[in-house]
A and B are shown apart, each in its own frame.
Chain A
Amino acid sequence: MGAGVPLADVVLSVRGLTLRFAGVVAVSDLSFQVHAGELLGIIGPNGAGKTSVLNCINGFYRPQGGRIVYLGRDITRLPPHTRAYLGISRTFQNIALYPHMTVLQNILSGRLVHMRSSLLGCGVYWGLAQREVLQHRQRVEEVIDFLEIEAYRDHRVAELPYGIQKKVELGRALAMEPKLLLLDEPMAGMTVDEKADMARYILELREVHGLPMILIEHDMGVVMDLCDRILAMDYGRKIAEGAPQEIQNHPDVIRAYLGEEHGVAEEVAGGA
């Protein structure tokens, strides 16, 4: 891997990322890349800094050191909404939807970055704005169809079960038509069936749409099964990076999870 030399198919390149909170080092000198059509998994014990990495990529946090290059452009200093316009979209560990709006409205809000009509145009509505509304609705309906949530279209999000809310959140991220999708524990707290569904969507996004993704997930079976490459973190540092099999047998990863040098990689290998 030619470190630092941007390959033609590199979507995201993170170099020397460092993030500190008043002396606590959350992320330390982290470097990695995401390639076109690739699903990169990030694993690590609680507090390893996984979510912080995502927050740096989409701009919630300003890192003290390092560079983030996205599609050949340095975005390290850009504000979050600009990054959204550039095509970086994400879901959250704790659902962050508009609870009193319907599923349809929530997903439609993901289209905001693509709205073109002026305030005046929207006020008049007929004509351009109307055409635009129909177009956006069409995209939203495609997302609803993709996630199989037709039955909940007009339900308010607050009334829906947790598993469905997770789907809606993914739906909103997809409605943005992202070029890079960041998934922060999309399957946490889901039933086995819901997890299987979610895994299917993620696979389909990669296989059919070739969407590059970063996935944070604690279910090792899922991570090992789905991801092309895995980055393992502990205390803000990269401890290993590579194909799922390599990670499963990596002594540092086993140590990070089990806290001991001996013992078998059961948790890491289990369920895979």
Chain B
Amino acid sequence: MSTLVTRGAGRPGTPWRKRLTPYTFVLPTLVGLGLFLIYPLLSAVYFSFTNIRLETLTDPPSFVGWNNWRFLLEDIRLGKAIENTVWLVLVMVPARMLGALLTALFLNQVKRGRGVYRTIFYLPALAPPVAATIAFVLLLKPGTGPVNTLLAKLGMSSPPLWFNDPDWAKPSLVFLALWGIGDLMIIFIAALLDVPAELHEAAALDGANAWQRFRYVTLPGISPVLQFAAITGVIATLQYFTQAAVAASVASGSVTAGGGITNVFGYPNDSTFTYPLRLYTVGFGTGALGYASVLSLVLFAVSLSATLLLLRRFRTFL
């Protein structure tokens, strides 16, 4: 490299320098990608064939062949983790998008106090996930929480147990996610404002009703933003960790339990035990980083596939 620079420096405008210039512009990005994406990815592939352990990262790991990959098919807790994660992707992502879109549409119709409403709906998105989850679990806490107290006063004899009921725990997480739709809502509001008003006027002149204008003008107009929201939503939900871990700990009544990790994850009855939680318990609870590497590679492959699918086929959903 130094030789090239020395030679080029003496003769500006030579083909060497011209050819090299664009590469120098992208070099920082290439270095970053190589160091923080390609190298770790290849490392994970390598580690997935070894017995590398958390406690002895400085020691060279031994090769164990396909052992870690074989356990992927034998791990009895993985099935439930996958089931829960798929459920959340299929329910939480559309629910958040729909909730954010409806809120954005509503706020675009508001004439007075629009800024105040936007702020109110956006504020929950600023709450730290851990604090928000703790607050939500306490709000929905059966027996002492204000929500069930109110429901009981309204005459409901057996209000849901929310985070303490295996059937309600995941829907409760969806409610929590819906509460925090402010981030998506802001993007949707911006996208809706970008849809040309003349298109709506032309459609109206052609006799299109409100639903038809939404279906054939608004939705296509904001489809790139919807696609973005779907992709980022799916990826984030595949990695759903913090809220599930905190909700389970708080709802189980052992939020500060000793051992530190893992034994209350999934409460109640593994209903909130997600794929990333399995990855974490294996990697940090058991210290089996080889198998954790397998799980992370599978997660990466699934995230990539979902992204490619949504990039290519998103329009078919509209």
A and B: real partners?
Answer: no
Measuring CB to CB, which residues of chain B are less than 8 angstroms from any residue of chain A?
A: none
